[in-house]
Amino acid sequence: MSESKMSSMKKEYEFLKEIGLGSRNLGCYINGLWQGNGPVISSVNPANNQRIAEVVEASFQDYEEGMRACAEAAKIWMQIPAPKRGEIVRQLGDALRAKLHYLGRLVSLEMGKILAEGIGEVQEIIDMCDFAVGLSRQLNGSIIPSERPNHIMLETWNPLGIVGVITAFNFPCAVLGWNACIALVCGNCVVWKGAPTTPLITIAMTKIVAGVLEKNNLPGAILTTFCGGAEIGQAIAEDTRIPLVSFTGSTKVGLMVQQIVNQRFGKSLLELSGNNAIIVMDDADTELAVRSVLFAAVGTAGQRCTTCRRLLLHENIYHKVLERLLDVYKQVKIGNPLEKGTLLGPLHTRASRENFEKGIQKIKSQGGKILTGGNVIESEGNFVHPTIVEISPNADVVKEELFGPLLYVMKFQSLKEAIEINNSVPQGLSSSIFTRKPEIIFKWIGPQGSDCGIVNVNIPTNGAEIGGAFGGEKATGGGREAGSDSWKQYMRRSTCTINYGNELPLAQGINFG
């Protein structure tokens, strides 16, 4: 590499100091201290495949030491009143605001998503902090009428103790926020294993949380963090000290996590694969639909679980929408995700680029017709062209999820046919329809409509707000995170019956002597 290029890269990475990162970093935050006794790995910039910095991962000894400290911290944290826990999360939101642009830039640098999306991801955690602060005063139970005189029934909610969070590369810090903000106000400590390919984001986020805990004289082990690979994830799944494991990743690995956790009678919260469709009816606002499809299919280089992978166009507007879409695809600027105007950054790893190439060959072998894109870009980075493929909805490859900017387009004649195609895949995360007709809208969101956890109208499949519960059905795992009543997954429910009289009437009118 030339000296000028090395100098340019060094300058690009200078901001890392602002969030406490150096050229070599310890990857375990254990009992308020940084350490690491595992292998040394390199964090790589997907735009040029050059090393950003080194990280020392966790060993099993680190894991056990961290878990012991976390279990002790849980005894303290759950005793703190929920509104006071909310105050700590409020301070966390303020600390993130102060480092918003630095963290957002790090997400773009290490993960590869464009800067606007990197900043947006950190903003999502800030929004979750705000949501969780309000929630900390609303962890309400119920009063239930008793059939017995002088009796009252109550529902109470208590902390689980420790929540394990295993996150994926595509949202390397936002998914922690969805889980940790809620888990913390619910009175749980958090054990976090970030993705092996985004360790710097894991460390930077942890440093911010650690600073807030230290400032409030709270045990650092309330958040315990491990950078590491599958062996650390398996340890979390097997650990009986962790009642709930939240896992984000592939269906294949998520099923393994679920089975391991179930064997010890733990709970798992799964956010797995998506294979999301947008349906465009013949009465739709086609310009709105085209803009939405572009963001849904090309955003984050197609590496969101909510990415639109299937576009279903009514036969009456098929050619009109497709021509317009092909036109806007030609205008997509591909390049360094940190540069202004870039809409499509690199895929996250070299392996992702290779999988994209293999996927294109498989598509062609099953009759797919490449309308635009379909190839990698020769460069130092992991860049590919955004791709549109005309294909039959019955092709086997359409049922699979290829993580990249790849859009299958297909034609339909009726709403019934479109819904059947939408529901025909194993995954059930997100779905959208574009129409102006109320009868179509209510059919779509009703029991005979989309079978997904997210059912949208006239908006893309991606870009969910934190106020609603996020998650999907079928092979997506069934978990729910972020808003609505998702908090109930992070607590244990007790039904309490109190007899304040002098008699002992039994339920169901039973007379026992």
Per-residue pLDDT tens for 58-92? 999 999 999 999 999 999 999 999 999 999 999 99
352: amino acid identity, one letter: S
Nearest CA among 139, 141, 186 for reference residue 161: 186
Is residue 486 scored above 60 in pLDDT? yes
Q: How far apart are the first and last CA of the chain?
A: 90
Boundaries of CATH 3.40.605.10 in the chain? 22-272+479-493
How many whole angstroms separate alpha carbon 82 and alpha carbon 388? 49
Architecture of the domain defined by 22-272+479-493: 3-Layer(aba) Sandwich (3.40)
Query: What is the reported pLDDT for 512?
Result: 84
Q: How far is CA 343 from the centre of its chain?
A: 21
383-422 pLDDT, tens digit per residue, is 999 999 999 999 999 999 999 999 999 999 999 999 999 9
Per-residue confidence (pLDDT) for residue 3, from 0 to 100: 53
Q: What pLDDT was estimated at residue 392?
A: 95
State the chain's mean pLDDT as an integer: 96
Kindly tell me if the per-residue pLDDT of 249 is higher than 90.
Answer: yes
What is the model's pLDDT at position 2? Answer: 52
Q: What is the pLDDT of residues 40-67, one digit of tens each?
A: 999 999 999 999 999 999 999 999 999 9
64 tagged catalytic: no
pLDDT given at position 513: 73
Higher pLDDT, 3 or 189: 189
CA distance 429 to 271: 9
What is the DSSP pairing of strand 427-428 with strand 473-474? Answer: antiparallel
- Phi/psi at 134 (5° precision): -65, -40
pLDDT tens digit string along 138-184? 999 999 999 999 999 999 999 999 999 999 999 999 999 999 999 99
Which residues is 310 bridged to in the sheet? Answer: 277, 408
Alpha-carbon gap, residue 90 to 366, rounded angstroms: 52
Residue 158 backbone dihedrals phi, psi, to 5 degrees: -130, 160
- Nearest Cα neighbor of 312 from 407, 387, 226, 410 is 410
**Cα–Cα distance, 213 to 210 (Å, whole number):** 5
Tokens 């097997």 identify what position? Answer: 238
Task: Locate 269 and state its tokens.
Answer: 């919260």
Answer whether residue 280 shows pLDDT above 80.
yes
Q: In the annotation, is 305 catalytic?
A: yes
Average pLDDT over residues 191-219: 98
More confident residue, 38 or 1: 38
Percent of the residues in the chain that have a pLDDT greater than 70, as a whole number: 98
Q: What is the CA radius of gyration of the chain?
A: 25
Flag whether pLDDT at 6 surpasses 90: no
Q: Are 108 and 122 in contact (CB under 8 A)?
A: no
Cite the residue boundaries of each domain of the chain with CATH code 3.40.309.10: 276-474
Alpha helical stretches, state H, 264-301: 286-298
pLDDT at 511: 85
pLDDT at 394: 93
The one catalytic residue in 186, 305, 308, 452 is 305
Phi, psi of 232 (to 5 degrees): -75, -40
What pLDDT is recorded for position 244?
A: 98
Q: Nearest CA to 85 among 179, 160, 186, 180?
A: 186
Two tokens at 268? Answer: 């798992």
Class of domain 276-474: alpha beta
Distance CA 247, CA 255 (A): 10
Give the Cβ contact number of residue 128 at 10 Å: 27
Contacts for 350 with CB less than 8 Å, ≥ 6 apart: 49, 382
Q: Are strands 481-482 and 469-470 parallel, antiparallel or unpaired?
A: antiparallel
Is the pLDDT score of 301 beyond 80? Answer: yes
Residue 509 has pLDDT above 90, yes or no: no
Question: CB-based burial of residue 21 (10 Å sphere; 0-12 exposed, 13-18 middle, 19+ buried)?
Answer: buried
pLDDT of residue 4: 53
Contact criterion met (CB below 8 Å) for 155 and 494: yes
pLDDT classification of 353: cutoffs 50, 70, 90: very high
* Catalytic residue of the set 110, 271, 401, 481: 271
Q: Is 60 exceeded by the pLDDT of residue 134? A: yes
